[in-house]
Structure 1
Amino acid sequence: MKNQSTRNNMDWMVVSLYIVLVILGWLNIYSASLPIEETSIFDLSQIYGKQMLFVILCIPLIIVILSIDAKIFEKFSSVIFVVSLLSLAGLYLFGKEVKGQTNWYALGPFSLQPAEFAKFATALALSKYLGDVQVNLSIPKYQFQALGLIALPVLLIAPHDPGSALIFSSLALVLYREGLPAWYLWVGFIAIVLFVLCLLFEPLYIVLVSLGIITLLYFKSRPINRNIILSSVSFVLITLFTFSVSYVFDNVFQQHHRDRFNILLGKEVDMKGIGYNINQSKIAIGSGGWTGKGFLEGTQTKGGFVPEQHTDYIFTTVGEEWGFIGSLVVIFLFVALILRILYLAERQKTKFSRVYGYSAASILFVHFFVNTAMVLGLFPTVGVPLPMFSYGGSGLFAFTILIFIFVKMDANKVNEW
């Protein structure tokens, strides 16, 4: 393999899209956190000042990543994954509690959220595992091992940060690309639908409808394809799942999680309490109209009506100040970045780099989809940041590492034999 320059061979479209998103993200954080008396953009006492510092620190971080031999990431992927798991486990002993969640390590005036870094670490570990020529996802043994690998960080994160744990489900899309049977995705989709329906209707009605659908599918299928055992087991599992939803919802979910689901499903109306964030988010986005109110001119933003606007609800600033057209531009940039990474991933000739590319694209997609759906009131508030936009050094650094590891892989022609 020829020793080619990383600078000359890296994909500048991905790099350019990343830079544009980071710049736009900082501008929206600046608008959402600007005090009455303007100060320097480097004022570390202000949120936008800290974010500017994080953006600047990404430059040497990128240089370091691009300076490392791409094959080092594959060689040390298992070590990186183990370190990330230990950092997640350490939260239970040394974590800092913020707003009822122990997601952070306190580092002086700054905090570190290990769950963000666990995402690219898990992507590397999964790529290493699936890159083994022996692994065949059509065989149950390898299916369970791959799913178990993803489940390890989820089990450590879910008790105190279900939003971050949700992101790891994106890696199921990668497994599907690499040969995981489609019925896994169907089971997951059906479970989600059943869960929501059980919160809206009596479980008995859900069971009866499910029985009708299973019976109809059984008799509509060809006699040679009918399987009474499979149909019976499916019905039993659906029944058990249906009647367990209420217990899980009442005893496993925390009260604020239950409230958010109830608000989303219209079972409760609490515009001054738990539903305040979503209501103000919709007002802010809707008030932007087609072209927006203009940069730094958002009245909802300046009035501080949307809580956590510089973090999870940063897209409301986009909607209010840049309007529908500006929001579409931001959405287009995210979609372009994700599709470009998928295109490059499909071109890879080593399984490791291909799987990692798909993992990076899937993680970015689920972050983007969940966050925008959340601020539009189409998804419960789960604390999922918008990549490159939401305030926070951990998130920005982690997304930078996630993206530029793949940029390095592609630029160094890891895809060549």
Structure 2
Amino acid sequence: MNNHPQRSLFFNVDWLMVLLYLALCTIGWFNIHAAVFDEAHPSILDMDTNYGKQFIFIISALVLGLVIILLDSRFFVALAPGFYVATVLLLLVVLVVGRNVGGNQAWIPIGSFRLQPSEFAKFTTCLLLARYLSSTNIKVTEFKSFLTSAAIIGLPMLLIMLQPDTGSTLVFCSLIFVLYREGISPYFLIGIAVFIVLFIAALLVNQLYLILGLVAVALVVMYLLRRYRQLILVTLGGLVLCVAFIFSVNFIYNNILKEHQKSRIDELLGIKSDLRGAGYNVNQSKIAIGSGKLWGKGYLQGTQTKYSFVPAQSTDFIFCTVGEEWGFAGAVVVTGLYLFLLMRIIMVAERQRAPFTRIYGYGVASVIFFHVVINIGMTIGLVPVIGIPLPFISYGGSSLWSFTALLFILIKLDSSRMGFLAQ
């Protein structure tokens, strides 16, 4: 019998994850100070500035993390459906009363503060998905279970797309890795990768040549598998599906994607070059990161940063401040911290006795991984600009609180792993 429950509670906390979290938040705060530094308000604690406000966000996030640690683990299992429904309702509310910023109606104004429900939908979706997949007799390999899982992920995606916020919508696609960990075929992931490659290829190569190439590959495969009739039929079906998808690319590109999305894809693939328009942000970001060289220009010494050449530098493009002022070495430290955190999350997920915690842990890793790869990728020109924050580092209360809740719920569930069993 444990005579010191509170002492045991905090001793079981994975302090390594907490330290990594604190390190990233601190790095974010100082880089926000550098990104929007105002000589009229030099103090990093000046509450009239974004860096002063970020300090308040960090303190409140720490309070949120502490509250989560003090709650009973079963609270998150029991209320997972309630949290999910609450965020779905907020996503509906934002479509009616939300404030439009940058073309997205994604924020609910609350006085001088703006709440972004799509950020909170990430951890509530992970919770409900973990609750469902950890239920008795649920196997994601069964069509009904897979369809239900897809619906849990798809509903917030649909509502966020209506805002429209493409970046936040795509984040939910990362949860496919959770389904993969729970048993769906790796061919499903391979199929998604193939369609992404085909989409890019259809924009760069004449469709007729692309189809002829696929037919040639399919004929070779069918010849090699000529003794296996079923595999030949699968190959034929795959060929038909790929050809149909190639023909649909032009329709998707011209009728579904918005002009700014098409411009960003064109810029990324080199179809067009507009350094004063669609390519301006990324070009300035690459200049900022490259100018930092190995050790950087020093804290508050970044010229690209100081003269505001890069838009949204304290939010979506915060990484270019790291690159300019702290150089390649600083960028390696930041990416290394993320890599270490992701490895730790996966290790924590794999050591769980409760399926709920394991599944939720993979959800946490998937969401953070997607944010980090896409955000850093877009600042260095490897992926299109889709406007998502860098976890724990970008400016913003909604983002920081949602990532804090996402991570600290896992920390809490892990701290109770010896006695907690998901129902």
Fold shared by both chains (TM-score > 0.5): yes
Q: Which has the larger displacement, 36-45 or 331-340?
A: 36-45
Is the aligned partner of 1:240 residue 2:214? no
Is the aligned partner of 1:42 residue 2:45? yes
Moved over 6 A (4+): none
Report matched runs for 1:54-203 at 5 Å.
54-159=57-162, 160-203=164-207
Q: Which has the larger displacement, 235-244 or 334-343?
A: 235-244
Whole-angstrom distance in 2 between the partners of 1:166 and 1:127: 19
Deviation at 1:416, TM superposition (A): 5.2
Deviation at 1:58, TM superposition (A): 1.2
TM-score (norm 1): 0.97
Deviation at 1:84, TM superposition (A): 1.0
- 1:105 match: secondary structure: strand
- 1:227 match: secondary structure: helix
How many residues in Structure 1 have an aligned counterpart in Structure 2? 417
Would the aligned equivalents of 1:348 and 1:415 in 2 still touch at CA under 8 Å? Answer: no
Whole-angstrom distance in 2 between the partners of 1:221 and 1:26: 58
Whole-angstrom distance in 2 between the partners of 1:27 and 1:367: 20
Q: Which residue, out of 30, 33, 36, partners 2:33?
A: 30
1:21 maps to which residue? 24
Q: Which has the larger displacement, 346-355 or 132-141?
A: 132-141
In structure 2, runs of 5+ residues without a counterpart are none
1:269 maps to which residue? 273
2:358 maps to which residue? 354
Would the aligned equivalents of 1:344 and 1:410 in 2 still touch at CA under 8 Å? Answer: yes
- 2:107 match: secondary structure: strand
Is the aligned partner of 1:297 residue 2:297? no
Q: After superposition, what is the alpha-carbon deviation per residue over 1:43-72, rounded to whole angstroms, capped at 9, x for unaligned?
A: 332111111111111122112111110111
Q: Give % identity.
A: 42
Is the aligned partner of 1:279 residue 2:283? yes
Q: Which residue, out of 12, 15, 24, partners 2:15?
A: 12
Deviation at 1:138, TM superposition (A): 2.1
Deviation at 1:324, TM superposition (A): 0.6
Would the aligned equivalents of 2:73 and 2:420 in 1 still touch at CA under 8 Å? Answer: no
Would the aligned equivalents of 2:95 and 2:106 in 1 still touch at CA under 8 Å? Answer: no
Match for 1:223: what amino acid? R
User: Cα gap change, 1:287/1:317 in structure 2, threshold over 3 Å: closer, same or farther?
Assistant: same
1:404 maps to which residue? 408
Match for 1:208: what amino acid? L
1:217 maps to which residue? 221
Deviation at 1:225, TM superposition (A): 6.0
Whole-angstrom distance in 1 between the partners of 2:17 and 2:269: 38
Q: After superposition, what is the alpha-carbon deviation per residue over 1:176-222, rounded to whole angstroms, capped at 9, x for unaligned?
A: 00101112111111111111111111222221111112222222236
Whole-angstrom distance in 2 between the partners of 1:47 and 1:209: 53
Q: After superposition, what is the alpha-carbon deviation per residue over 1:270-324, rounded to whole angstroms, capped at 9, x for unaligned?
A: 1111111010000000000011111111111111111110000000000001111
2:397 maps to which residue? 393
Would the aligned equivalents of 1:89 and 1:156 in 2 still touch at CA under 8 Å? Answer: yes
Deviation at 1:226, TM superposition (A): 4.9
TM-score (norm 2): 0.96
